[in-house]
Structure formats: C-alpha cells, structure tokens
Amino acid sequence: MQELDTHTFRLAVAQFDQAAEAMRLDPNLRERLKLPQRSLVVSLPVRMDDERVEVFTGYRVQHDSSRGPSKGGIRYHPDVSLGEVAALAMWMTWKCALAGLPYGGAKGGVKVAPKKLSQAELQRLTRRYAAEIFPLIGPDKDVPAPDVGTDAQVMAWIMDTYSQQVGYAVPGVVTGKPLSLGGSLGREEATGRGVVYVTMEALRYLKMPIENATVAIQGFGNVGSHTALIMQQQGARVIAVSDASGGIYNAKGLDVQELLRRYRTAGHSLRDTKLGDAITNEELLQLDCTVLVPAALSEQITGKNANHLRCRILAEGANGPTTLDADRILEDKGVFIIPDILANSGGVIVSYFEWVQDLQRFFWSETEIQHRLQDIITSAFQRTLHFSTERRTSMRMAALMSGIDHVAQAHLQRGLYP
C-alpha cells in the first residue's frame, strides 16, 4: 500500500519477512500479518487561540486483535505518518505477544509539534482527536496510552471525552492516566525500569558486574531519563545523555538526580546544566561504554555508523532504532542486542496492570507492580535468550519469531471468517 510506504514501515516489514522466512510461516498468514487489520485517518479542525481554524491530520491503526483488545500509544510529532504508525502498531503486536499479554498491537498519532501549541489548543486538539477515533477505542476494543509528545494529562482528556460520549466514567479506556483518574503507581517510569531490568539480566549472562558498567543514553525524555536514574541507583555509571539538541559527557559519571533538577530549571537544555562536556547525538552513539541505550526515535543506528559503535550491550529503549544493515554489522562485532520489542516492553506491561486494576476497581502497591513487572520482563528475556541459543539465531530474530508464533497460533486456532 503506497500510503504505508515509509522507511519505518519498510523496516518493520523487512524484520517480519526475515523472521517469517526462518519460521517457514504459512504464506497466507504472512500476507495477512504484513498489513494492519484496520486503519483510520481523521481530519482535526481546531480553533486556535487567535480564532483561526487549523486542520491537523490524525491516525489510529490496529494491527491485530486475534489475542484480545489492541493496545498502543498515541504520539504527537511533526513527522507522524500512516506508515510510521502502522509500523509501530506491528511492533506492538509482537511485543505484547512476546510478553504474554492478552493484547494485539495498535498505535495512534497526530501530525503536530505539540510544544508550539498552548495548553488550551492542545486540549482542544486532543478532545477532537478522541471524538474522531471514538468508534475504534474502548476498554474491550482498543486501549491507547502515552507516547512521544503526549503524557498523563493528554490521556486524562481522552478518558474524559470518551466518558462524556457514553455517559459515565470509563477509566479503562486509556492507560498512563493520572492516579486520581485510575492511573497506576509505577506507570511513569515503567519503560525505563523495564530497560534496566533486562539490561541487568544481560550483564549477568555476560558475567559483567553492574558496578563496573558504563552507560550512554540517547534521548532524555520519559524513557531515557528514568533509565538513567534507575541505572545509577543500581550501581552503574551513567557517562553520557542527550536530547534532540545534543548532549553531555562526563567520564567520571553524571549525578543523574542533580542533572534532572538542573535540566528542569535550565529550560530542558542538557548543555546548560554544565555537568559535562558538550557532545552531539552522533558522538554519543560512538562512545566507549558497556551499555548503549538508544531511547529517542527510530533508525538512529544505521549501516553508516554501526561500525563506529563501541558498546558491549545495545538495549533498545526506542522503537526501531537499528536498521537491518546495522544489525548485521553489530552482530559481526559481537554486540549483545536487547531488541526493542523486549527492552522497552515495560511500559505496555505496566499499562496492562493499570487496565486490569481499572477493570477490577482494585489497585496494587508500587512494590507489587515493580515485582510483577520484573517477573514478566525477565521471564520474557530468559525465554528469548533460550530460543536464541537453542536456534542459534540473534536475540532480535528470537524475539520476533517467538512473538509472531504466538499470534500465528491464535489465527490458526480461530480460523478464517467467514
């Protein structure tokens, strides 16, 4: 489909094709799983603060619902497209299946630069988007969550808009909400905490003490900042972090708590914190470190720069940060890759906990949530590692093949309707 033809979607399909070929997947299923089950494109007229009306474009894509409601974030970003959203929805399908969650994959987004909108404009945009995708979402159909450019407040507006349409409060329609509306303890840092849990498993497998580990993190949003803080709390030395404008490097280690404090007061400028030497995002990727965490946007590690990476472990906090060309180079270099559908699955795992708590109207403690998250994500890591060593394939192919197989079995057992 021409509308889906983007770099990100081609990457997702190429990964799927590679895994499907290795699995000898039924060709009929292969064709079905390449394309989303349902795609919605919406026009969003929004009255701006100066009274003019601007029209934005929004998307919601459901890749698969064979194993349960679809699940996936909503991102607000100028580069959002149907192809990107469809790729992210596909990865969500494999991610949920790999973790053993009763979900299919979905994703949504609006093509907008959210920082250029006032709070009032952002609310009007969100409510209009929620109203337009209303027929597709619901606690038993499709459950959105925050992603790039969105947060708990955006989820609160979506939850309220949906609830106004049906006439009563429906907290389970979204996850990542404020605690006062049925949000879950531990949700905000869940993706970063999950990255740390699987990285610690990889360090144990490679017999590398975490106290000797150095960490570089590309991206200092929700995922990157929490990964940095929790890695330091676990005993690792965080030597570099970056955001869209560049980053900082300190070979002796950054004080992440102080960095976060200064980052917030310095207008979200890492360089203005004056806690390290200024570096570019490209320089950060090439630092000599134990663990590299790409936690920004997709396709950051390519065939052009993969040879220059000097990490021992690549823990993919972002979705699709590594191209297939780069994969082959890194594998030849002996880099241990923790693929995105495993490494960053902590967010959807705790979103699942939030959804369960909302449906039951029974909430858990933060300690319970952290223990349950660790149990599920480390179990998924060990299963993937076992599959990888047994089949003599990469961790990425092991994760993809395992997730795809769960979905394929569901389709085969349900049969084809009509």
The first and second tokens of residue 212, run together, are: 């000797």
Provide the token pair at 38. Answer: 């349902």
Q: Is the dihedral of CA 265, 266, 269, 270 positive or negative?
A: negative
- From residue 375, alpha-carbon distances to 212, 236, 307, 349 in Å are 25, 21, 35, 11
Q: Is 141 marked active-site?
A: no
Q: Any idea of the CA torsion for 102, 299, 294, 297, to the nearest 10 degrees?
A: -70
CA distance 325 to 328: 5
Using CA atoms, how far residue 369 sits from 146, 185, 278, in Å, is 19, 7, 37
Distance (Å) of CA 309 to CA 313, 334, 380: 10, 11, 26
Tell which residue, 235, 236, 258, 247, has the closest CA to residue 280: 247
- Counting Cβ atoms within 10 Å, is residue 334 exposed (0-12), middle (13-18) or buried (19+)? exposed
Catalytic option among 95, 107, 111, 177: 107
**Residue matched to tokens 């990100």:** 8
Could you tell me the strand order of the sheet in which 53-62 lies?
38-47, 53-62, 104-111, 70-77, 142-146
d(CA 363, CA 366): 10
Cβ neighbors of 145 (< 8 A, separation 6 or more) are 71, 72, 73, 74, 155, 174, 175, 176, 347, 348, 351
Distance CA 181, CA 175 (A): 10
Q: Omega into 36 within 30° of 0, i.e. cis?
A: no
- Do 307 and 263 touch, CB atoms closer than 8 A? no
Task: Give the pair of three-digit tokens for residue 101.
Answer: 């969650």
- Residues involved in catalysis: 107
